[in-house]
Structure 1
Amino acid sequence: MNRREPSFINNLLFRDYRFIFLVWIITSIVCGVLKYTRGSYNNFSIFKNLFWHAIHQLPLYEHYPKEYSDVTHYGVFFSSVIFPFALVPDIIGVILWVTLSTWFLFYAIKRLPLSRNEHLFVYLFCVMELFNSLASQQFNVGIAAILIFSFFLIEHKTDFWAAFFIMLGTFTKLYGIMGLAFIPFSRNKKRFLSSCLFWSVIMFFFPMLYTSPDYVLTQYHSWIIDLIEKNSLNQFAYYQNISLLGMVRKISGCSTYSDLWLIIPGIILFCLPFLRVKQYRSQSFKLMILASTLLFVVLFSTASESGTYIIAMIGIALWYVKTPSQTTSLNLTLLIFAFFLTGLSSSDLFPVEVRKTFIFPFALKALPCFIIWIKITYELCFLNFCLKEGIPRAEEDRMLVPNDNNEIDIVLPCYNPPTNWQETMHENIKQVFKYFPDKVFHIIVVNDGSSINMDEAEIEKFRTIMPKVQLISYTEHRGKGYAVRKGAEYACSSLMIYIDWDFPYDKESMRAVFEKLEEGYDIVVATRTNSYYPNIDLNTIRTYISVLTRILNWIVLGIRYSDVRRGFKGMNRKGKDLLLKTQINHFLFDTEFVYLASRKRYMHICSTRAKLRESVDFTFMDITAFGREIINFIRIAVK
């Protein structure tokens, strides 16, 4: 479907991300400099002193007229966010605050699944509202970025970090709690909610590290009271309650009704599209949900100010580039209406008398946003986004393609094996051949730079005992992940497994993996049975590390199959291609492999229970390797 894009988008200069980024950054720097030189950076002074008041354990939600006007309405945890900017001179703090906020929003939008022209349109459409928001030095730009980035992270199955940003926004200005609207898009809702609980606990208690428990508890109580009082004061405030709630109240002039008469129907309308579960397969549908969320959080809050509308304007831009509706002229009319009445009404480009007489007194800045939000809600409820994108039916999308090829490559990484390892390997291979007479196996052994029991004589002995087994050898020890990838490069069959050279799992476990591969799964993950710990001799430290690893895989990485480091996986060619894209050379390559696979919608993954053979020996990871794997885990988490 052809998108409606202004002609200037086709100009080469405006098609350059670097140029648009430069425009945004220059806008933020100019705004910061102007605010400082004019001495009109009151909100930044509030933020800065929030940190110092917390350090000195002074009440946060009281007036300090000698330092700034007004009262802070941000959460206690915000003192932890603002502290780097409070430690530097004001001119540097103001400029850094607005510039980093701008960068974060630019980056968040850039991560959305939009085309180049769609990205650039969003950036250019919002630039005026960006300047208006930066002029207030508030956290609205950051809130917009948090909501967008949390949506992106959930889409990429990084729920742990999505929860971090959602809770960051919640503990700062409450607006961030709207990120919970994206829970239906999470593949692992229990883990997502657990992550939210985890970060909530961290952010609740963190300020106690530099204050005291009694102080923090008292200030949280004061914050709640402050927000309730602020909500009451906002009802007819000239520069506050610029929302749907404020527009209705200010036009009607009535103060006796409750905002719940508007909020409850609004919540119902907002939630209705989430009932269309089959539409979740459409990227445009989910982006429209994001647009609806960005508008809802502004329209139904009495705390909405002029600078808050950077959040809503991004929602409008996303709607315009992703709506599947064919009402082009109506969409364009609404877009222009929003650009002028919402985007320009707070600037000097709009007639002063109109602003003072109509726009602010009646909160008319919310009118175009409300009309567009109603249209978005209608489209989300009734249009078929999947049909527009040509997405197949769900049952076809999940269909597995059976694999009837009986040829299987087995990759055996080997490092510093024990004496007479050749006889042990040969016996295990014979047992595999005997147990699976219907299979044709190609064995690939990878010598990962072994320094013992792998000299020329040992290799010659190997070739004598197993002449048909392929041996790949290199002199430098690179790690198990590197060895497995090296073996996979030589694998030619349609199916492949990798397992430790001594075949530590029983034959029934191998059969279960083969059967799943034949059913058509791209990757089969062998996980431990419940008898793993009682049946093998593991010391306490290793046991704790193993359990902790599984917890971190589930909470931080969102891997459904958290028990991934068993060194036993099966895959077809599609899975092997992904394996070859892994980068970690040591033990956590298993984790990286399953993590990357779990983020691919087209990858079909399953798990089987694997039982260890008796008398299996395990080596213990030394402290150096343990530290290295911690670094590797962080590398995976930030991918």
Structure 2
Amino acid sequence: MISIVLPAKNEAAALVGLLPRLKEARPDAEIIIVDDGSTDDTAEVCRAAGVTVLSRPYSMGNGAAIKAGARAARGDTLVFMDADGQHDPTLIARLLDRLDEGYDMVVGARDWAGQAGVSRGIANTLYNWLASRMTGFDVKDLTSGFRAVRADKFREFLHLLPNGFSYPTTCTMAFFRSAYAVAYEPIPVARRIGKSHIKPIKDGIRFLLIIFKIATLYAPLKLFAPISIAFFLTGLGWYGYTFVTRHQFTNMSALLFSAAVIIFLIGLISEQITNLTYRRDG
């Protein structure tokens, strides 16, 4: 059985046209709309369409909605997609076909034309590059919200998923870290219906934090070790300079060497915590 989960916040205008198309494309699927504290007619539109609605009393975030939908879903395959009309329901079949090839997750990958603006496109390109370097795999779209996954494997990582907007990032890195097979399927993306919930300044800071989260979530030592080496080499260079000019070992050199050791040890501890987080029992 297939369960399709759509997190929605004030998406009534898009859902009026999307839900009939979704039911036509996948009449056999369980469709779950998680109404994340909407103040418009989102819940009413969904009930009129005859789909399952999980209403939250207030907005808890995109990731929280995804977790609620995943817990309630009865299918052994989960499909996540946006409720703003960007994703074509007929493309679900392409994701499921790739999943049947033996993959554990298939992600709908957008090209540059599918990015929501130049700034978002540049940011996503940076995320993809960093994630590819961290994992050793070609990550084509780290933040896509259109994906099909095996339900049992996805639920292993529910405790890791944030309540905010970076659930795709966390989910993808968790699958790679646990050696689950991930594939990317190129998809076209339409312009969203309605107003975006993205706030440039607030979400710009959030995206910057995501970059660090990518590294610390997958392999912390790959982030901390280069920083530690940089501090050590800086301290060594400063010591060489002060030794030649003043014949002294200064406090600054001691501080830089100490920082290098501390940062490396933090990375080592973080690596062990990450290993415990992804440990498999039985």
Q: Same fold (TM over 0.5)?
A: yes
Highest RCO, 1 vs 2 (Cα 8 Å, sep ≥ 6): 2
Following superposition, the deviation at residue 611 of structure 1 comes to: 1.5
**Aligned runs of 1:80-95 on 2, under 5 Å?**
none
> Contact 1:424–1:502 at 8 Å: present in 2 too?
no
In the TM superposition, what is the alpha-carbon distance from 1:442 to its structure 2 partner? 0.2
Residue 408 of structure 1 aligns with an amino acid whose one-letter code is: I
How many angstroms apart in 1 are the aligned matches of 2:14 and 2:188?
Answer: 22
Q: Which residue type is aligned with residue 513 of structure 1?
A: L
- Give yes or no for contact 1:527–1:563 (8 Å, CA) kept in 2: yes
Letter in 1 for 2:154: K
**Contact 1:587/1:629 (8 A) holds in 2:** no
Aligned partners of 1:543 and 1:634: how far apart in 2? 18
Q: Does 1:462 align with 2:55?
A: no
Quick check: which has more Rg, 1 or 2?
1
1:588 matches 2:166: yes
Query: Which deviations, in whole Å up to 9, do the C-alpha atoms of 1:527-581 show, x marking residues without a partner?
Result: 1146435xxxx44323322322222322356553241211011111333223423
CA shift for structure 1 position 411: 0.2
Q: What residue number does 1:527 align with?
A: 109
Contact 1:523 1:575 in 2 (8 A): no
More helix by share: 1
- Give the 5 Å matches for 1:552-563: 552-556=130-134, 558=136, 560-563=138-141
Structure 1 residues 516 and 586: CA distance shift in structure 2, 3 A: same
Q: Which residue of 2 aligns with 1:411?
A: 5
Letter in 2 for 1:527: A
SS in 1 for 2:138: coil
Q: Is the 8 A contact 1:524 1:571 kept in 2?
A: yes
Identify the match of residue 543 of structure 1 among 99, 121, 136. 121
Call closer, same or farther: CA 1:592–1:559 in 2, change over 3 Å: farther
Alignment partner for residue 86 of structure 2, among 481, 484, 504? 504
CA distance in 1, matches of 2:160, 2:36: 17
1:554–1:621: structure 2 CA closer, same or farther, 3 Å change rule?
farther
**Structure 1 pair 422/570, CA: closer, same or farther in 2 (3 Å)?**
closer
Measured at CA, do residues 460 and 416 of structure 1 come closer, stay the same or move farther in structure 2, by a change above 3 Å? closer
1:143-158 matches, cutoff 5 A: none
Q: In structure 2, what is the equivalent of residue 424 of structure 1?
A: 17
2:182 to 569, 581, 605: 605
1:565–1:588 Cα contact (<8 Å) kept:
yes
Q: Are the counterparts in 2 of residues 522 and 574 from structure 1 also a CA contact under 8 Å?
A: no
How far does residue 627 in structure 1 lie from its aligned partner after superposition? 1.3
Q: Percent identity?
A: 24
Change in 2 beyond 3 A, CA 1:576/1:556: closer
The structure-2 alpha-carbon separation of the partners of 1:461 and 1:526, relative to structure 1 and needing over 3 Å to count, comes to closer
What are the Cα deviations for residues 109-142 of structure 1, in whole angstroms up to 9, with x where unaligned?
A: xxxxxxxxxxxxxxxxxxxxxxxxxxxxxxxxxx
Does residue 443 (structure 1) correspond to residue 20 (structure 2)? The answer is no
**1:422 CA drift (Å):** 4.4
- Residue 586 of structure 1: how far off its partner (Å): 1.9
CA offset digits 1:477-525 (Å, max 9, x no partner): 2221111111000111111110011442335532210112223321112
Q: Give the match's secondary structure for 2:156.
A: helix
Aligned pair in 2 of structure 1 residues 556, 605: CA closer, same or farther (>3 Å)?
A: closer
CA RMSD across the alignment: 2.5
- Corresponding residue for 1:616? 192
Sort the Cα spacing of 1:461 and 1:561 in 2 relative to 1 into closer, same or farther, 3 A: closer
Aligned mates of 1:443, 1:484 — CA distance in 2: 13
Whole-angstrom distance in 2 between the partners of 1:479 and 1:494: 24
1:210-240 alpha-carbon deviations (Å, 9 max, x no partner)? xxxxxxxxxxxxxxxxxxxxxxxxxxxxxxx
CA contact (8 A) 2:114 2:188 kept: yes
Cα deviation, residue 590, structure 1 = 0.5
Q: Which residue among 65, 76, 83 is the counterpart of 1:483?
A: 65
Query: Contact 2:129 / 2:139 at 8 angstroms: preserved in 1?
Result: no
Gaps of 5+ in 2: 218-282
How many corresponding residue pairs? 215
Contact 1:584 1:632 in 2 (8 A): no
Deviation at 1:607, TM superposition (A): 1.6
Using a 3 Å threshold, how does the CA distance of structure 1 residues 423 and 600 change in structure 2: closer, same or farther? same
Q: In 1, distance between residues paired with 2:79 and 2:88?
A: 14
1:503–1:616: structure 2 CA closer, same or farther, 3 Å change rule?
Answer: closer
Distance 2:151 2:43 in 1: 30
Contact 2:4–2:30 (8 Å) recurs in 1? yes
- The Cα of 1:635 is off from its aligned counterpart by 3.2
Q: Contact 1:432–1:507 (CA<8 Å) still a contact in 2? A: yes
**What SS does structure 2 have at the residue aligned with 1:514?**
helix
Q: Distance in 1 between matches of 2:173 and 2:134?
A: 11
Normalization by structure 2: what TM-score? 0.67
After TM superposition, the structure 1 = structure 2 runs for residues 249-398 of structure 1, keeping only pairs within 5 Å, are none
Tell me which amino acid in the other structure corresponds to 1:570: A
Give the SS at the match of 1:447: strand
Counterpart check, 1:453 vs 2:44: no
Quick one: distance in 2 between partners of 1:557 and 1:586?
Answer: 23
TM-score of the aligned structures, taking structure 1 as reference length: 0.31
Checking the alignment, whether the CA contact within 8 Å between 1:578 and 1:593 is kept in structure 2 is no
How many angstroms apart in 2 are the aligned matches of 1:460 and 1:481? Answer: 22
Give the conservation status (yes or no) of the 8 Å contact 2:76–2:152: no
User: Measured at CA, do residues 539 and 461 of structure 1 come closer, stay the same or move farther in structure 2, by a change above 3 Å?
Assistant: closer
Structure 2 CA distance for aligned equivalents of residues 557 and 539 of structure 1: 27
Q: Structure 1 541/604 Cα, relative in aligned 2: closer, same or farther at 3 Å?
A: closer
Equivalent-residue separation in structure 2 for 1:577 and 1:462 (angstroms): 25
Aligned amino acid, residue 427 of structure 1: P
User: When you count strand as a share of all residues, which structure comes out higher?
Assistant: 2
Does the Cα contact within 8 Å between 2:112 and 2:121 map onto a contact in 1? Answer: no
CA drift of 1:445 comes to 0.4
Partner secondary structure for residue 476 of structure 1: coil
Aligned residue number for residue 271 of structure 2: none
